Amino acid sequence: MADPSSKGELIAVSTEKLHVGIALRFTLRDERGQVLLAKGLRIENHHALEALQKRRAVYVDYDESDEAVKVLMSGLNEATRRDAALKDIDKYVSFNETETKEVVKGTLPEGWIEAETRLRALLSSLALGGQPASDAVGRIGTTIDMFLQQLLNRDREAALFLLIHRAVTAFTGYSALHSLLTATVVHLLATPLKLSPAESASLTRAALTMNVGMTALQDALANQKQRPSPIQQVQIDKHAAEGVRLLHAAGVTDSLWLNVVFKHHDDLPAGVPLVERPPAERLARILQVVDRYTAAMSPRVSRAGRESKDAARSAIVQPGAAGHDEVGLALMMLLGLHPAGTFVKLANGETAVVLRKGAKPNEPYVASVLNKRDEPISEPRLHNTSKPDVAVVQGVSASTIRVRLNTDLMLRQLAFTKTGADRGTGRV
C-alpha cells in the first residue's frame, strides 16, 4: 500500500454529504494524509460533524480498499450523467453506504408506497426533536437518492402516474404524499430550469420538509369539513418558521435548504425572471408554483380537487405579472396540460384517465374508464388524443369519478403506449 502521507495517492471528497450517525467505509484523512476519522467509526455528534465540515475537503486513500474505488467510480458515473466537469466530481461522491448499496425492491407501486411510508416516519421524527430528529435528517438524503433516483430511473412516466393519481384520489396521509409529489416534480424540473446539482438537492430537500412544522395538522385539516380554528390558523401562519427551527435543531446546516423552507409561503415579487432572483428566492419561487399546483388538484373532505386545466391556469398565470410564469410553463412542458393520473372528458363522450403526456401538452395518451353514460368500462380503451374524435374536451375533477382503477392494468397499458402501436390510428 502506498505511503498515506503521499497526497498523490489521496482522493479529495467534499464534506457536504457527511452527516451525524454515518458509518465510514474508509478512513477520512486531511490533506497531509493524517487520520481524521478511522474506517468503521461513526460521526457521533454535531460537534464532530462541524469539525469535518469546516475543512474545505477531506481525503480518502485510493489504495485503502475496493470501497474507495467503487465510491469514486460512482461519483464519476453520476458526474458523467449530469454532463458535469471532472473537476467537480467530488460533489457526486457519496459517503453513505445506504445510498450506494440499498436497492429498492418490489414492484414500482410498492416502491412508491414504501417511499411515502418512510417519508411519513422521517417527518414524524423531525417533529419529535432530539436524537430521532437528528437521525431523520441523515436519512432524508438517502430517501431522496434511493427512492427518487431509483424509482424515477425505472420508469418516470409510470412514477408520475402513480404519484399524481394517488394525490388526486385520496386525502389520507396527505402531508407526506403531497411533500413526496412536490419533491419529485421539483427534482424533475431541475434540468429544464437549469439548476445546479447543489441547488436541486437543496430544493428537493426543502420540498420534502417544507411542512414539517405542521405535518400532523396538515393531515387533520385534509380530513375536517370546517375552516381552520383560530388556534390552527396560528400554527398554519407560523409553520414555515417552525419548520426551520425543527430542521436547524436536528442538525441541518444547508442554509439554502433552510431559507427555501422559510420563504416558501412568502409574498415574492411578481414578474421577476428566475435568473435575476437571489438563490433562495429563486428556489422558493419554484417550490411555490409546484406546491400550489399539486395542492389545487388534491381533494379534501371539505372540497373536491380542482380539475387539471384549472389547476394549470393557477400555475401558469402569475398574479401581478404581465406574462406567463416561467416555472408554470416548464411545469406544463414536463407534465402536460392534463398530467398522468388525472381524468379527462373526450370528444366521443367517454371519461378517461391520463396515462402519460403526448407529443403536445393537450394531447395525452389516455385509457377510457367510463362510457358516454358514465358507466364503468370493463376493458379500458386506449387512445392517442391527437385525433379529433377522441380529443380532450375538458379536465374532470377526480373527486367526481366513482370508479376504482386496476393500477397494474393501467401500468401495462401505459407501457403499451410506448410501443408505437397506435401510430397513425389514433388508438393504441
- Residue 200's pLDDT is what? 92
- Residue 174's pLDDT is what? 87
For residue 1, is it within any domain?
A: no
For residue 126, pLDDT beyond 70: yes
User: Do 401 and 301 have their domain in common?
Assistant: no
User: Do 96 and 172 have their domain in common?
Assistant: no
Do residues 366 and 382 lie in contact, with contact meaning Cβ atoms separated by under 8 Å?
A: yes
- Residue 182's pLDDT is what? 95
d(CA 79, CA 238): 39
- pLDDT-derived band at 164 (thresholds 50, 70, 90) equals very high
Count CB-CB contacts under 10 A for residue 202.
23
- Residue 3's pLDDT is what? 40
Distances 252 to 18, 49, 248, 348 between C-alpha atoms, Å:
11, 11, 5, 54
User: Do 280 and 293 have their domain in common?
Assistant: yes
User: Do 69 and 166 have their domain in common?
Assistant: no
For residue 426, is it within any domain?
A: no
Name the packing angle between helices 108-128 and 156-169 (round to 10°).
Answer: 60
User: Do 294 and 353 have their domain in common?
Assistant: no
Do residues 125 and 101 lie in contact, with contact meaning Cβ atoms separated by under 8 Å?
A: no
Nearest partner of 280 among 183, 212, 202, judged by Cα: 202
For residue 166, pLDDT beyond 70: yes
Among residues 288, 314, 335, the one where a domain terminates is 335
Q: Distance between terminal CA atoms of the chain? A: 61
Nearest partner of 9 among 51, 53, 97, 72, judged by Cα: 72
- pLDDT-derived band at 379 (thresholds 50, 70, 90) equals confident
Give the list of residues 6+ apart from residue 136 with CB closer than 8 angstroms, or none.
Answer: 121, 122, 123, 125, 126, 250
- Residue 394's pLDDT is what? 92
User: Do 272 and 377 have their domain in common?
Assistant: no
User: Do 245 and 380 have their domain in common?
Assistant: no
For residue 373, is it within any domain?
A: yes
| C-alpha 354 chain-centroid distance | 21
User: Do 36 and 116 have their domain in common?
Assistant: no
Q: What average pLDDT does this structure show over 352-365?
A: 93
Q: What is the pTM of this model?
A: 0.74
Q: Which residue has the higher pLDDT, 48 or 116?
A: 116
Task: Residue 208: give its domain's CATH number.
Answer: 1.10.3210.10
Give the list of residues 6+ apart from residue 66 with CB closer than 8 angstroms, or none.
Answer: none
- Residue 426's pLDDT is what? 40
Which cell numbers hold the place of 241? 418558521
Q: Which residue has the higher pLDDT, 10 or 6?
A: 10
- Residue 271's pLDDT is what? 82
For residue 328, is it within any domain?
A: yes
For residue 168, is it within any domain?
A: yes
- pLDDT-derived band at 7 (thresholds 50, 70, 90) equals very low
Q: What average pLDDT does this structure show over 288-293?
A: 92
Which cell numbers hold the place of 281? 428566492
Mean pLDDT for the chain?
Answer: 81
| C-alpha 3 chain-centroid distance | 44
- Per cent of the chain over pLDDT 70 is 78
* Residue-range definition of the domain harbouring residue 384: 343-417
- pLDDT-derived band at 285 (thresholds 50, 70, 90) equals very high
Q: What average pLDDT does this structure show over 377-388?
A: 91
For residue 98, pLDDT beyond 50: no
For residue 206, is it within any domain?
A: yes
For residue 242, pLDDT beyond 60: yes
Q: Count structural domains, the chain.
A: 3
pLDDT, one tens digit per residue, over 334-347 is: 999 999 999 999 99
User: Do 191 and 223 have their domain in common?
Assistant: yes
Among residues 287, 319, 335, the one where a domain terminates is 335
Residue located via cell numbers 373527486 = 399
Q: What average pLDDT does this structure show over 64-92?
A: 52
- Reported as type and span, the H/E element at residue 98 is helix 97-101
For residue 49, is it within any domain?
A: yes
Nearest partner of 104 among 94, 116, 92, judged by Cα: 116
For residue 139, is it within any domain?
A: yes
d(CA 384, CA 183): 29
- pLDDT-derived band at 423 (thresholds 50, 70, 90) equals very low
- Residue 358's pLDDT is what? 92
- Residue 35's pLDDT is what? 80
- pLDDT-derived band at 89 (thresholds 50, 70, 90) equals very low
Among residues 100, 128, 162, the one where a domain terminates is 100
Q: What average pLDDT does this structure show over 305-311?
A: 74
User: Do 92 and 127 have their domain in common?
Assistant: no
User: Do 255 and 138 have their domain in common?
Assistant: yes
User: Do 319 and 184 have their domain in common?
Assistant: yes
